[in-house]
Amino acid sequence: MDRRKSLKALAVGTISAGVFVEACKNGKDKNALVSKDTDAGGKKFGYDRQPEEIERYNEVTAKTFFTGHELATITVIGDIIIPRDEVSGSASDAKVPEFIEFIVKDMPQHQVPMRGGLRWIDMQCFKRFEKSFVDCSEEQRITMIDEIAWPKKAKPEMAAGVSFFNLIRNLTATGFYTSEIGVKDIGYMGNRPNQWKGVPPEVLQQYNLAYDERELNETVKFD
């Protein structure tokens, strides 16, 4: 067959011309086609990963993005946003700075706004207090944060700081409420095998709702 000749020609120089098999017809191809273990990263990650994802993870984590000073600033601001309270710990207790370091490498669109915002806040502090943000007293830090934490009442010249604080508030909150401490704090009670028996009766009562006959009789029941 001419066609097969031309295919063979293509293969020369890579492995060998002898690898062509008619797979299902003669079943000789088994060795050539053993699939890679797709769960290669399973042990390291604890969940299913593709080789490309493992490569991406290794690439991202091989680099360090924030300087020590930047990370210290993120930590201080993070704990101002999410401090320890009577319910749960702080952002740094939940390792939020480590999350932010990872996520800006994984989502490069955050890199310039974060780095620039950290620089912006330091420059503001130098002008006001002749110190970087982390070197300021607690009182000075809060004075600075109060200038940028309230979008509606912030002065127009603070707009860049407001944008930065909105971003770091978002990343800190997301990092915190997706941590073990944060999920417990927010009260998410799922992600475990259970039986869905419907809305608890006292909640139905609170909202003055009730299941109708069909919803009671025709839905799934458990022993």
Partner 1 sequence: MAAYILAKEGLKVCLIEAGPMYDPKKNVTQLKNPWESPRRGASTRFRPFGDFDASYWGWQIDGEPYTHKDNTKWDWWRTRMIGGRTNHWGRISLRFGPKDFKRRSIDGLGDDWPITYEDVKPYYDKVDRLIGIFGSIEGLDNEPDGIFLPPPKPRLHELMIKKAATTAGVKVIPSRLSILTTALKDNQDRGSCFFCSQCNRGCTVYADFSSSSVLVNPAIKTGNVDVLTNAMAREVLTDTNGLATGVSYVNKEDMQEYQVMGRTVIVAASACESARLLLNSKSARHPNGLANDSNVVGKYLHDSTGAAMGGILPQLFDRKRYNEDGVGGLHVYSPWWMDNKKLDFPRGYHIEYWGGMGQPAYGFGFGMENLNGKYLVKGKQKEAGGYGKSLKEDYRYFYGAGVGMAGRGEAIAYESNYCEIDPTIVDKYGIPVLRFHVKWSQHEINQAKHMKETFKEIMHNMGAIVTWGDNGPEDDYGLEDPGKIIHEAGTVRMGSDRKKSSLNKWSQAHDCKNLFVVDGAQFVSQADKNITWTILALSMRASEHIVSEMKQQNL
| Binding positions for partner 1, 67-96, rule CB under 8 A | 80-83, 85, 87-88
For residue 13, what are its two tokens?
Answer: 């120089």
Nearest approach, Cβ of residue 26 and partner 1 (Å): 9
Binding to partner 1 by residue 200, rule CB under 8 A?
Answer: yes
Give the footprint of partner 1 on residues 124-143 (CB under 8 A).
none
Listed residue (126, 118, 12) closest to 70, CA to CA: 118
CB under 8 A: which stretch of 68-76, 97-105, 116-124, 127-135 binds partner 1? Answer: 97-105
Interatomic CA distance for residues 103 and 185, integer angstroms? 22
- CA dist 130 and 139 (Å) reads 14
Secondary structure class of 155 (helix, strand, coil): coil
Site for partner 1 in 157-196 (CB under 8 A): 162, 165-166, 169-170, 173-180, 182-183, 185-196
Residue of the chain from 28, 38, 108, 119 that contacts partner 1 (CB under 8 A): 38
Considering the rule CB under 8 A, would residue 223 count as an interface residue with partner 1? no
Q: How far is the CB of 117 from partner 1 (least distance, A)?
A: 15
Give whole-number Cα distances, 136 to 16, 123, 219, in Å.
69, 12, 61
Whichever of 72 and 173 has its CB closer to partner 1, that residue is 173
* Other C-beta atoms lying within 10 Å of the C-beta of residue 218: 8
